[in-house]
A and B are shown apart, each in its own frame.
Chain A
Amino acid sequence: MALNVSGQQAAFQFKGGALTVTTLEFFTADVGYIERELEQQTRRAPAFFSHTPVVLAFERLSGDEIVSLELISAVCKRSGLMPIAVRCAQDAIKQSAWALGLGWFPPQSEKRLQEVSKSRELSVKPARIVRNPVRSGQQIYARDSDLIVVGSVNEGAEIIADGNVHIWGSLRGKAIAGAQGNLDARIFCQQFKAELVSIAGVFQTFEKEEWPENETVTEIGLDGDNLIIR
């Protein structure tokens, strides 16, 4: 039986707007090199890569470098990413993008790139604050900022921040800090019963027996390649 049958309604609507998408900015066109590095990163944090749509950006490469878009795109897909478009000036890449069914965005001009990085340095982005418990099946991401949860993060929930994570209640689910690689990021919680914690891609999973005995405030940070829980 048909759903939503009501004659006058439009089938769809076009909407303009800014959507945040992850860009994968290449510093090399060497496919083998790219593949190795992607493999390493996916092994460290598989969750970030699975089914993430990405724009492949090539404006950092010199104009005469030969880019095999087909191979690069295949390598990305193999690691779980979903290339949706390219960003570049080179006509050759643009042509291959069309052939592969990818979209094309014009390159970001030097001036804008500079402006963006300048404004980033100056502005302090306030923490994202969540006032409810984060429940099983929910995922929250604080882009470019800290994340504060005024409640608990339950089993089956996942919170991610590019900065630090503060949990006023118990951490029973997954918490990821420094998601863009900030090695100094930390996770704080009132009670540690986590399924997984990760800082800058270094992660550890926990079984019941591995939780700290004393049920008090816990801080998780990185010391070299090791997570320190105290």
Chain B
Amino acid sequence: MARVVVITSGKGGVGKTTSCASIGTALAMQGFRTVLIDFDVGLRNLDLVMGCERRVVYDLINVLSGEANLSQALIKDKRVDGLYMLPASQTRDKDALTTEGVEQIINELKDDFDYILCDSPAGIERGAIMAMYFAEAAVVVTNPEVSSVRDSDRIIGLLDSRTRMAEEGKPVSAQLLITRYDPERVEHADMMSVQDIEEILAIPLVGVVPESDAVLRASNKGTPVVHDKESDAGQAYLDTTARFLGEERPMRFLEVERKGFLSRMFGGR
């Protein structure tokens, strides 16, 4: 039986899709059958980050309206076994997302998969609510800045009230993923520190992904950054996925890298 996980944030452009693609890929690399559902109807981009945009024939809305069945719409990842995605529609009406329809799709996928990751659109409107409604767990993606933290706070409140689990009186287990972390800017107090964010949001931290050129490079190539195992962001997503699966790993990439003479001599941190 699959576990349904929503990747959500409130604020736009913080790294939800990037995180969904990389965590999903890492889960599949560990042997878990994983499917990614793009709920961002109107802005199709999970397929771009996954590099499968040219293979999109049918989408979520086609399946919801009965024009295609799930097996026709699911796209199999070329690089990792057991990884699939269900793309969003670029053109269709957001109102086509109904609770009943989404429930049916998720139930059908549950038998076949270990993890269902829902890539939420930004905001707190219908699309975001649909993406979270059936989730049992949530990864709340936050950037180290006041407005992003505040929006995440809002979203955690919604996870506690506007989900099926909440309606049944059970908590959705929400974990915090801080992305685009730039230790240098934190040191100069331009950005919030991990501690500050944790204190405000008061949910467990699952990972910190540093600001990294590797992310842009990866998404230009259509390869989730987690494949770039040399890169800091790639490693951070591997760590994050391990922690998500219950492993304990120390947080990395929290300090400014000192390229000084001493740190080079003694291997730095």
Contacts and interface: CB of A to CB of B under 8 A. Distances in A.
Contacts of A170: 199
B227 interface: no
Contacts of B100: 4-6
A135 to B, nearest CB: 4
Contacts of A152: 199-200, 202
Contacts of A136: 150-151, 153-154, 157
Interface in B135-179: 150-151, 153-154, 156-158, 160
A1 B202 contact: no
B156 A135 contact: yes
B93 interface: yes
A152 B156 CA distance: 14
Interface residues of B, number: 18
- Which of A133, A151, A152: most chain B CB closer than 10 A? A133
A172 to B, nearest CB: 7
A190 to B, nearest CB: 12
B99 interface: yes
A133 B202 contact: yes
Nearest to A132: B160
A40 interface: no
Given A155-B150, A156-B153, A172 B200 contact: yes
A228 to B, nearest CB: 27
A136 B142 CA distance: 15
Nearest to A191: B199
A138 B96 contact: no
Nearest to B95: A1
Interface string B70-114: 000000000000000000000001011011100000000000000
Interface in A140-195: 151-152, 154-156, 170, 172
Contacts of B150: 136, 154-156
Interface of B: 65, 93, 95-96, 98-100, 150-151, 153-154, 156-158, 160, 199-200, 202
19 contacts: A1-B96, A1-B98, A3-B95, A5-B98, A5-B100, A6-B100, A133-B202, A135-B153, A135-B157, A135-B160, A136-B151, A136-B154, A136-B157, A137-B154, A152-B199, A152-B202, A156-B153, A156-B154, A172-B200
Interface of A: 1, 3-6, 132-133, 135-138, 151-152, 154-156, 170, 172
